[in-house]
A and B are shown apart, each in its own frame.
Chain A
Amino acid sequence: MPKPEDYSERSATLAGWPVQIVTYRLEGTYYTTVQNTDPGAWVVKAQGPTKQDVEQQAVKEAEALLAKIKSKKPPTGCTSVPGF
Chain B
Amino acid sequence: MASQTISQTSKAQDVLVSTDWVAQHLNDPNVRVVEVDVDTQAYAEGHIPGAGGWAWDTQLCDTVRRDIIPKEKLEQLLSSSGISNNTTIVLYGDNNNWFAAWAFWQLKLYGHQDVRLMNGGRKKWIAEGRELVKDPAPSRPATYRASNPDLALRAFLPEVTTAVQQHAAQLVDVRSPQEFSGELLAPPGLPETCQRGGHIPGAKSIPWGKACNDDGTFKNPEELKTLYGGQGITGEKPVIAYCRIGERSSHTWFVLKYLLGYSNVKNYDGSWTEWGNLVGAPIEKP
Inter-chain contact B286/A76, CB cutoff 8 Å: yes
Instruction: Point out the residues of chain A lying under 8 angstroms from B46, CB to CB.
Output: 2, 4, 26, 31
Produce 1/0 per residue, A1-37, CB < 8 A to B.
1111101010000000100001010100001010110
Instruction: Point out the residues of chain B lying under 8 angstroms from A1, CB to CB.
Output: 49, 131-133
Inter-chain contact B95/A40, CB cutoff 8 Å: yes
The dominant DSSP class at the B interface is loop
> Given A1-B49, A1-B133, A7-B127, are A41 and B189 neighbors across the interface (CB < 8 Å)?
yes
> Given A3-B132, A76-B285, are A42 and B188 neighbors across the interface (CB < 8 Å)?
no
> Given A71-B184, A74-B286, are A83 and B197 neighbors across the interface (CB < 8 Å)?
yes
Name the contact of A36 in the complex, choosing from B187, B196, B198 (C-beta under 8 A): B187
Inter-chain contact B96/A40, CB cutoff 8 Å: yes
| Smallest beta-carbon distance B152→chain A, Å | 27
Inter-chain contact A7/B126, CB cutoff 8 Å: yes
Complex-state Cα separation, A65 to B191, whole angstroms: 12
> Given A3-B129, A38-B209, A42-B94, are A79 and B183 neighbors across the interface (CB < 8 Å)?
no
Nearest chain-B residue to A16 (Cβ)? B188
Inter-chain contact B183/A39, CB cutoff 8 Å: no
Instruction: Point out the residues of chain B lying under 8 angstroms from A33, CB to CB.
Output: 39
| Smallest beta-carbon distance B181→chain A, Å | 6
Instruction: Point out the residues of chain A lying under 8 angstroms from B45, CB to CB.
Output: 26, 31, 47
Residues facing A in B119-143 (CB within 8 A) are 123, 126-127, 129-133
Inter-chain contact A7/B129, CB cutoff 8 Å: yes
Instruction: Point out the residues of chain A lying under 8 angstroms from B30, CB to CB.
Output: none
Instruction: Point out the residues of chain B lying under 8 angstroms from A44, CB to CB.
Output: 189
A sample of 30 cross-chain residue pairs with beta-carbon separation below 8 angstroms, ordered by A number, consists of A2-B132, A3-B129, A3-B131, A4-B126, A7-B126, A7-B129, A26-B132, A31-B45, A31-B46, A33-B39, A35-B189, A38-B176, A39-B175, A39-B187, A40-B98, A41-B95, A41-B187, A41-B188, A41-B190, A47-B45, A65-B188, A66-B188, A71-B184, A74-B182, A74-B285, A74-B286, A76-B286, A81-B198, A81-B285, A82-B196
Inter-chain contact A36/B188, CB cutoff 8 Å: yes
Name the contact of B188 in the complex, choosing from A43, A74, A78, A79 (C-beta under 8 A): A43
Nearest chain-B residue to A17 (Cβ)? B188
Instruction: Point out the residues of chain A lying under 8 angstroms from B190, CB to CB.
Output: 41
Inter-chain contact B285/A78, CB cutoff 8 Å: yes
Complex-state Cα separation, A75 to B283, whole angstroms: 13
Determine if B235 is an interface residue (Cβ-Cβ < 8 Å). no
Inter-chain contact A42/B248, CB cutoff 8 Å: no
| Smallest beta-carbon distance B188→chain A, Å | 5
Nearest chain-A residue to B181 (Cβ)? A74
Instruction: Point out the residues of chain B lying under 8 angstroms from A38, CB to CB.
Output: 176-177, 207, 209
| Smallest beta-carbon distance A76→chain B, Å | 6
Instruction: Point out the residues of chain A lying under 8 angstroms from B283, CB to CB.
Output: 79-81
Instruction: Point out the residues of chain A lying under 8 angstroms from B181, CB to CB.
Output: 74
Complex-state Cα separation, A9 to B133, whole angstroms: 22
13 more contacts with CB within 8 A, not counting A3-B130, A83-B197, are A1-B49, A1-B131, A2-B131, A4-B126, A4-B130, A26-B132, A35-B95, A36-B189, A42-B189, A72-B183, A74-B197, A74-B286, A79-B201
Nearest chain-A residue to B126 (Cβ)? A4
Instruction: Point out the residues of chain B lying under 8 angstroms from A2, CB to CB.
Output: 46, 131-133
Determine if B213 is an interface residue (Cβ-Cβ < 8 Å). no
